[in-house]
């Protein structure tokens, strides 16, 4: 130690020493998030949610305040374990942090746009506020947790909060872009696009499906879910906006288009299961009808009028994969570094964030309900959203990183200029500063890793009660038993490795009671009176059944005895 400090004391020049030490200190950095999360992510991939949670907790042990990412990751792992209430509580803490960001974005966005720490050190020193799509998808996940707990009102509130969040993000992002442009101009920086970084893997951010996205935070799945929740709460006008927006964000998908096209029909008539005997009945009516008169032929006995039964309008979401990881990649760029002789253009090594690819195999394509294959549509790729988010953030990152590199370059210059007067210590310090300048350059790798990469969906009319769902995963078909009741239900399946996690609303047997009513079938003229009689009889029977059900279980009849034909009962949450 004396050998180190001795010559420095001998130099008796403390000013350059402290300047050099300070310069060396600001070159220190911290470890990458991907390395930190590696074992947790591996456990999730292996389908071991318990082990992943234990690993996450071990890494975050200590009394210090936990950051947003900890709560995001923990909430996801708890949800996988079907611990919906603890997951909701955890994500509510994360939501508080995002709301604090929203308040700051609304009241004083300049504080969020400029961040001294990130300019001097690196982006990992910034408080992690979550990427735009993460903030919005947090609302989606909160809504899904509320649904898993059977709280449709709570889910509606989360969706409403999501709309407000999207509006705040839109305003902030516009300001961020303006700020990045202004900063770049004032610093004389020419490169503000990732396309101008020679050696950057441009293709990771420039695929057509990424460019086709309207922005990085609005997703078809969020808006479709909003539409479904609004429809279930008896708000078709709001539901229409949700479905329409989902179509705009992901056009030409029959799954999304049919939700809007059939909305009026569902709102007015409800969702019914068709009696499988209907085709045979229609054939029988056709055969018994005199083609000349359009009336029933005499003496022919028709089969019983088919019945229709109320169905549960069921949204099946299949989540798969993990959101893409971000890694650091060193690419040198020419920067004007201040020196004694004025500005010198120096090739400066800078660490840039690069999104790692996700496996397309993670995407689930096959779904069967019982033995019936059901088409599954990819509604949202979080992978694409993450890439679009990074592409949108890159101008700001480039400006911050370039300014930081200039500051570091100037700091190195101070050390080198004073190294001669500090003897051996100066030499060490100069070498250390040079090494640190490269080693501490760290792109911001933080991102919500346990978030699903793909959201696929199907919508089916199911009979109230039990059904089996089979999903084709990379490890083969996996089956889960679900139970649905009420008028609407949301069932969420998540694949991870060999594991298939299920989240569904609590089953209410009372709400699963089925009361059938005659199927409206076009009848020949002289059959109409007979049909009316059947209708009246069935209606009377239904009313009786409804009354006794209501008395015994508190359940309401599927259709009230005194309502207009278009009446649809407000959602009884299941």
Partner 1 sequence: MTLTSPTTRLAVLSASLLLSACATVTSPTVGNNVSYGDAKAVEQVNEKFGSTDLQMIAEAMARSLAESQAGARIKPTVTIAEVKNKTSEYIDTRSITDSIRVQLLKSGTMRFVTDIAGMQDQTDELNRQSQSGLYKKSASAKLGKMEGAKYRIEGNITSIVKTGGNLKDVYYKFSLIMTDVEGGTIEWADEKEIRKTAKR
- For residues 453 and 324, the answer to whether their CB atoms sit within 8 Å is yes
Least distance between partner 1 and beta carbon 569 (Å): 5
Contact stretch for partner 1 (CB under 8 A) within 68-76, 415-423, 462-470, 556-564: 556-564
Vertex 28: Cα angle to 34 and 204 (nearest 5): 35
Which residue, 50 or 248, has its beta carbon nearer to partner 1?
Answer: 248
Among 74, 97, 245, 527, binds partner 1 (CB under 8 A): 245
| Contact string 248-287 vs partner 1 (x = CB under 8 A) | x---------------x--x--------------------
Residue 52's φ and ψ, nearest 5 degrees, are -65, -40
Vertex 91: Cα angle to 87 and 95 (nearest 5): 165
Q: Rule CB under 8 A: say whether 562 interacts with partner 1.
A: yes
Which residue, 163 or 329, has its beta carbon nearer to partner 1?
Answer: 163
Distance, C-alpha 412 to centroid of its chain: 43
Task: Report the 10 Å Cβ neighbour count for 159.
Answer: 25
Residue 461's φ and ψ, nearest 5 degrees, are -95, 115
Task: Report the 10 Å Cβ neighbour count for 298.
Answer: 8
Count interface residues toward partner 1 (CB under 8 A). Answer: 30
| Contact string 26-65 vs partner 1 (x = CB under 8 A) | ----------------------------------------
Please tell me the chain's helix, strand, coil percentages from 3-state DSSP, rounded to the nearest 5: 55, 15, 30
Which residue, 127 or 541, has its beta carbon nearer to partner 1?
Answer: 541
- Tell me the C-alpha distance between 173 and 393, whole Å: 9
Task: Report the 10 Å Cβ neighbour count for 198.
Answer: 10
Residue 102's φ and ψ, nearest 5 degrees, are -60, -45
Least distance between partner 1 and beta carbon 448 (Å): 25
Q: Rule CB under 8 A: say whether 66 interacts with partner 1.
A: no
Helix (H, G, I), strand (E, B) or coil at 481: strand
| Contact string 151-190 vs partner 1 (x = CB under 8 A) | ------------x---x---x--x----------------
Among 113, 155, 240, 317, binds partner 1 (CB under 8 A): 240
Q: Rule CB under 8 A: say whether 310 interacts with partner 1.
A: no
Least distance between partner 1 and beta carbon 9 (Å): 56
Least distance between partner 1 and beta carbon 167 (Å): 7
Among 114, 265, 304, 561, binds partner 1 (CB under 8 A): 561
Q: Rule CB under 8 A: say whether 241 interacts with partner 1.
A: yes
**Closest to 359 measured CA to CA, from 319, 318, 321:** 321
- Tell me the C-alpha distance between 362 and 491, whole Å: 19
Task: Report the 10 Å Cβ neighbour count for 204.
Answer: 17
Residues 451-470 that bind partner 1 (CB under 8 A): none
Q: Which residues bind partner 1 (CB under 8 A)?
A: 163, 167, 171, 174, 226, 234-238, 240-242, 244-245, 248, 264, 267, 547, 556, 560-564, 566-570
């Amino acid at each position: 130690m004396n050998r180190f400090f001795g010559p420095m004391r001998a130099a008796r020049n403390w000013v350059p020493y402290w300047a050099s030490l300070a310069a060396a200190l600001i070159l220190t950095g911290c470890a990458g998030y991907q390395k930190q999360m590696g074992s947790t992510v591996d456990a999730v991939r292996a389908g071991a949610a318990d082990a992943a949670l234990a690993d996450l907790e071990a890494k975050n042990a200590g009394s210090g305040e936990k950051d947003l990412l900890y709560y995001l990751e923990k909430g996801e792992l708890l949800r996988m374990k079907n611990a919906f209430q603890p997951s909701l509580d955890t994500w509510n803490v994360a939501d508080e942090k995002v709301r604090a960001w929203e308040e700051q974005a609304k009241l004083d966005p300049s504080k969020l746009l400029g961040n001294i720490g990130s300019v001097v050190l690196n982006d990992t020193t910034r408080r992690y506020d979550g990427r735009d799509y993460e903030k919005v998808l947090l609302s989606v996940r909160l809504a899904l947790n509320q649904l898993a707990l059977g709280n449709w009102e709570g889910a509606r509130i989360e969706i409403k909060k999501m709309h407000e969040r999207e509006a705040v993000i839109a305003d902030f992002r516009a300001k961020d872009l303006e700020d990045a442009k202004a900063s770049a101009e004032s610093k004389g920086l020419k490169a503000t696009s990732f396309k101008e970084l020679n050696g950057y893997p441009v293709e990771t951010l420039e695929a057509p499906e990424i460019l086709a996205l309207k922005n990085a935070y609005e997703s078809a799945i969020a808006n479709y879910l909003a539409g479904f929740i609004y429809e279930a709460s008896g708000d078709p006008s709001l539901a229409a906006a949700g479905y329409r927006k989902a179509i705009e964000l992901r056009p030409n998908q029959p799954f999304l288009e049919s939700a809007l096209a059939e909305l009026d029909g569902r709102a007015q008539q409800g969702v019914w299961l068709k009696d499988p005997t209907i085709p045979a009945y229609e054939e029988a009516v056709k055969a018994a009808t005199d083609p000349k008169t359009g009336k029933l032929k005499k003496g022919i006995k028709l089969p019983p009028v088919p019945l229709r039964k109320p169905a549960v309008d069921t949204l099946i979401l299949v989540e798969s994969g993990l959101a893409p990881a971000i890694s650091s990649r060193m690419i040198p760029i020419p920067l004007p570094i201040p020196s004694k002789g004025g500005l010198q253009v120096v090739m400066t090594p800078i660490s840039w964030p690069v999104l790692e690819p996700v496996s397309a195999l993670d995407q689930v394509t096959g779904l069967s309900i019982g033995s019936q294959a059901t088409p599954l549509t990819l509604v949202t790729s979080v992978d694409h959203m993450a890439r679009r988010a990074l592409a949108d953030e890159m101008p700001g990152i480039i400006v911050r990183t370039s300014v930081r590199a200039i500051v570091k370059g100037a700091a190195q210059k101070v050390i080198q200029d004073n190294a001669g007067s500090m003897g051996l210590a100066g030499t060490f310090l100069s070498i250390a500063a040079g090494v640190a300048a490269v080693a501490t350059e760290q792109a911001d790798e933080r991102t919500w890793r346990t978030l699903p990469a793909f959201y696929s969906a199907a919508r089916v009319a199911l009979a109230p009660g039990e059904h089996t769902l089979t999903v084709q995963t990379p490890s083969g078909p996996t089956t889960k038993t679900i139970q649905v009741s009420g008028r609407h239900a949301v069932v969420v399946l998540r694949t991870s490795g060999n594991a298939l996690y299920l989240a569904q609303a609590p089953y209410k047997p009372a709400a699963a009671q089925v009361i059938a009513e005659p199927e409206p079938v076009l009848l020949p003229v002289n059959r109409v009176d007979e049909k009316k009689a059947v209708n009246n009889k069935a209606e009377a029977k239904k009313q009786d059944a409804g009354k006794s059900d209501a008395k015994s279980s508190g359940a309401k009849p599927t259709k009230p005895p005194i309502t207009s034909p278009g009446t649809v009962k407000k959602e009884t949450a299941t």
